[in-house]
Structure 1
Amino acid sequence: MVTVGDTAPDFTAPLANGAVAEFALSERLDEAPLVLAFFPGAFTSVCTHEMETFEDRLDEFADAGATIYGVSIDTPFALNAFREDTGLTYGLISDTNRRIVDTYGLSMDFASMGVDDVAKRAVLVIDGDRQVQYAWVSDDPGIEPDYDEVYEAVEALS
């Protein structure tokens, strides 16, 4: 599992941002600090609340220089529908092939939903050198991150 001090593995994946674009971590480092919020699945109650909470605090994170992206195994088309349904304005990264969650060590089986290999609920803050400066990972998909703690990690990089 990726932890604080590690170099975040580079990846390229579809980005749902109202359309479908390409996201390459190495090409987004000028947007750092990057907050990657991994979540098990779109349109589920806890994931929806988490993504909406990041949206509610988006200006605060932007003022600290951070860019937020959600990451899940959902298709880019499902993620665009989720963005529209919830009013999200930040991009969501689609990891349908599960390469990101596997490479980052963030894969879990969500038995109650009958889905294998979803993303654990996790938040990483990555700096402009691709170094992981903050990592929070939960094995319980019903637990949300401490948003103030994530913000403090971002603010420390400003």
Structure 2
Amino acid sequence: MVSTGDDAPDFTAPLANGDVAEFTLSEHLDDGPVVLAFFPAAFTGTCTTEMCTFQDQLGGFEDVGATVVGVSVDLPFALNEFRDQEDLTFGLVSDHEKELIEAYDVWTSMPDLGVEGVAERAVFVVNSEGEITYDWVGENLGVEPPYEAVRDAAADAE
């Protein structure tokens, strides 16, 4: 897994932002740190809670100049519906080809549900130089990230 101090794998992927656009990580780093919040699946309990909590705390991230982006293997059209239903204003990256969960090494499966290849719940803060300055991976899919620590890490990202 990539971790603090590593270069963040750059990527270009579909971004659900009310429409479907292209998101390239390296093109957003000059705007301030980027928080990549990987989550297993839209429309599920903990994932919905997590994305809604990021939305509720979005002002704190914006205050420190950070951009929050959710990342899941869902198709961009499903992610746009998820954004609409949950009133999310930040973008959600579609890793439907599962390249990002492989590059960031946060690939997991849920064999009890017959699901192969979803994102572990993980958060990475990437600074303007493309370096990961914070990483967190949940010990299981039901654990939410430490939002305050993520915001503090975004504030400290240089």
TM range (shorter): over 0.9
- Alignment coverage as a number of residue pairs: 158
SS at match of 2:36: strand
Q: CA deviation at 1:112?
A: 3.6
1:1-42 deviations in Å (ceiling 9; x for gaps): 010000001111000000000011111112321000000000
Which amino acid in structure 2 is aligned with residue 76 of structure 1?
Answer: P
SS at match of 1:96: coil
Q: CA deviation at 1:111?
A: 2.4
1:152 paired residue number: 152
SS at match of 1:28: helix
1:107-141 deviations in Å (ceiling 9; x for gaps): 00022432111000000000010000000012410
In structure 1, C-alpha distance between the alignment counterparts of 2:140 and 2:61, rounded to whole Å: 25
In structure 1, C-alpha distance between the alignment counterparts of 2:150 and 2:157, rounded to whole Å: 11
Q: Calculate the aligned-residue CA RMSD, in Å.
A: 1.0
In structure 2, C-alpha distance between the alignment counterparts of 1:157 and 1:8, rounded to whole Å: 13
1:55-94 deviations in Å (ceiling 9; x for gaps): 0000111001100000000000000000000000000000
Which amino acid in structure 2 is aligned with residue 98 of structure 1?
Answer: K
Residue ranges of structure 2 left out of the alignment (5+ in a row): none
- 1:3-152 equivalences in 2 (<5 Å): 3-152=3-152
Residue ranges of structure 1 left out of the alignment (5+ in a row): none
Does the Cα contact within 8 Å between 2:126 and 2:157 map onto a contact in 1? no
SS at match of 1:129: coil
SS at match of 2:124: strand
Structure 1 stretch displaced more, 29-38 or 42-51: 29-38
SS at match of 1:135: strand
In structure 2, C-alpha distance between the alignment counterparts of 1:14 and 1:140, rounded to whole Å: 27
Q: CA deviation at 1:142?
A: 0.2
Which amino acid in structure 2 is aligned with residue 110 of structure 1?
Answer: M
TM-score (ref. length: structure 1) = 0.97
TM-score (ref. length: structure 2) = 0.97
Q: Share of identical aligned residues, percent?
A: 52
SS at match of 2:125: strand
In structure 1, C-alpha distance between the alignment counterparts of 2:112 and 2:77, rounded to whole Å: 24
In structure 2, C-alpha distance between the alignment counterparts of 1:79 and 1:51, rounded to whole Å: 11
